Amino acid sequence: MLQEELKYVQEMLALGNTALFLDVYPLHRFYMVRGYEEMKECLAERRKIENDVIWPIAERVGFGIAQREILDTFAYIDQGEISDSVYEMARHEQLNILQPALYDVERFALLMRGTQAGDVISVVTGLFSGLPEEIQLTLASQCKAPDTKKVTFSRNPIADLANKDQRMEFVSRAAEQFDRLLKNPTTYDQLRASIIKIASGGGIE
């Protein structure tokens, strides 16, 4: 039973990650190629290509809905306010994509509520060793990163990943730590190397 639950959680997390990428990457690409002025004009039209794109969560989340968080994100990027844009985009991801796609699904939410207690945690870091592990985000290409390059969800045994504002605080800590790593020349170089490794299909040590 536990194996089944682990598999289910892993599949759901993979689905969430895929959906986020499919939503966020084309937006950034469009901005990069066409700029903000055209994005303002075209954002509301994006929904019309739902049947022409890969969108694995169509049953729960409509593709390409023009929420204002997206416009705000790219307005900040356009103004060079990158840190502000990160928060606006993170909110869009949590509210408009992940919440309806994953956390409003009762079975998944129930499993994630118990996660910090140690039942289904191993799957989050991809380890089926049976040893409970905490939820953490790794800011490098390694699955097991040193302390400076990982962010722990919570030390609280009843922390709830299905809770939106607890998740947002986790995202915030990750963003701030990532920012600090980028501002330090040594860790900047290490992160850059990690990202290049991932982009070329390598990494994930």
Partner 1 sequence: MRKWCLGLLFVVLAVLIVYLNRDSGEIGTIDLHIGKPYKDVLRDSTFPVKSETAMRATTPQVEDSTWITRPAIVKFDDPKHGFTLPPTKFGAIGYNRGKVTTFTTSPMLETLPFDQVIPLFNNLQEMLKDSGWTLEKIGSNALIKASSEAEKNALQLLLFKHAETVIFFIPHKYSLALTIKCYARCNERDVKTAKYLIDVSVGRDYSNR
Residue ranges in contact with partner 1 by CB under 8 A: 36-37, 40-42, 44-45, 47-48, 50-51, 58-60, 62-69, 71-72, 75, 84, 87-88, 91, 94-96, 99, 164-166, 168-169, 172-173, 175-176
Burial track 147-186 (b if 16+ CB lie within 10 A, e otherwise): eebbbebbeeeebbbbeeeebeebbeebbebbeebeeeee
> Closer to partner 1 at the Cβ: 53 or 193?
53
Q: In a 3-state reduction of DSSP, which class is residue 152?
A: strand
Residue 116 CB, nearest distance to partner 1 (Å)?
18
Which one, of 159, 165, 148, 81, lies nearest residue 124 by Cα?
159
Angle at 9 between CA 6 and CA 10, to 5 degrees: 85
Residue 142 CB, nearest distance to partner 1 (Å)?
23
Residue 74 CB, nearest distance to partner 1 (Å)?
9
> Closer to partner 1 at the Cβ: 11 or 41?
41
